[in-house]
Amino acid sequence: MTPIPGSGLAKGLAVTLRTMTRKTVTAQYPDVQPELPPRSRGVIGLFEENCTVCMLCARECPDWCIYIDSHKETVPAATPGGRERSRNVLDRFAIDFSLCMYCGICIEVCPFDALFWSPEFEYAETDIHELTHERDKLREWMWTVPEPPALDPKAEEPKELAAARKAAEKQAAAEAAEAADRGDAGPSEAQGDAQ
């Protein structure tokens, strides 16, 4: 069967018209930032205060791209007659993101919640050496980590929060008792001053 002359052109125009009226899905990055899910694996942040230099993350990393250096320090005994303790002090913590495969194992295995995912991803470099982020940079990423999602309504309160809440309640009660003691003495003293 011979094709109708001009049918190819009509089909092409129909496709063009259909595409023109369809909602565009083109991401206008970098003019418009993408809306990433909060659990996106962009970069790893280090909360140094929580790190005990246990080396678990560096040992478990399949790419061996976490570099940790530390030294030991002696902590004097807390009580007279007590024993001195030794603790690890972090000298270097770096992650080479040119090797990292974003598996998240280091974050999963850290027993002290010192590593977190941040959705930030704009850290491309022209020099590969710059992709090794040292502790200061890893700490800066920490401030871009999104808040954890709210707990389920019937979820058990995390033990860290429960301990902090109890300590805060205890302190508030002690302060209230102190204020009440002062309040009892206060008005009579004030009256005495007025007379």
What phi and psi, each to the nearest 5 degrees, are found at residue 147?
-60, 150
Residue placing its CB nearer to ligand SF4 in the complex, 111 or 186: 111
Q: How far apart are CA 13 and CA 9, in angstroms?
A: 6
Q: How far apart are CA 176 and CA 170, in angstroms?
A: 10
Is the CB of residue 45 less than 8 Å from the CB of residue 118? yes
Tokens representing 57?
């993350």
Distant-in-sequence contacts of 20-26, Cβ < 8 A, 24+ apart: none
Cis before 76? omega within 30? no
Tell me which H or E stretch contains 87: strand 85-96
Query: Minimal distance in Å, beta carbon 8 to ligand SF4?
Result: 52
Residues making contact with ligand SF4 (CB under 6 A):
51-57, 61-63, 65-66, 68, 95, 100-106, 110, 112, 114-115
Cβ atoms within 10 Å of 165's Cβ, excluding its own: 11
Residue placing its CB nearer to ligand SF4 in the complex, 134 or 181: 134
Query: Minimal distance in Å, beta carbon 44 to ligand SF4?
Result: 6
Residue placing its CB nearer to ligand SF4 in the complex, 11 or 59: 59
Query: Minimal distance in Å, beta carbon 58 to ligand SF4?
Result: 6
Which neighbouring-strand residues pair with 68?
93
Query: Minimal distance in Å, beta carbon 61 to ligand SF4?
Result: 3
Tokens representing 180?
């009440």
Query: Minimal distance in Å, beta carbon 146 to ligand SF4?
Result: 18
Query: Minimal distance in Å, beta carbon 120 to ligand SF4?
Result: 15
Residue placing its CB nearer to ligand SF4 in the complex, 124 or 190: 124
Residue placing its CB nearer to ligand SF4 in the complex, 48 or 146: 48
Residue placing its CB nearer to ligand SF4 in the complex, 56 or 131: 56
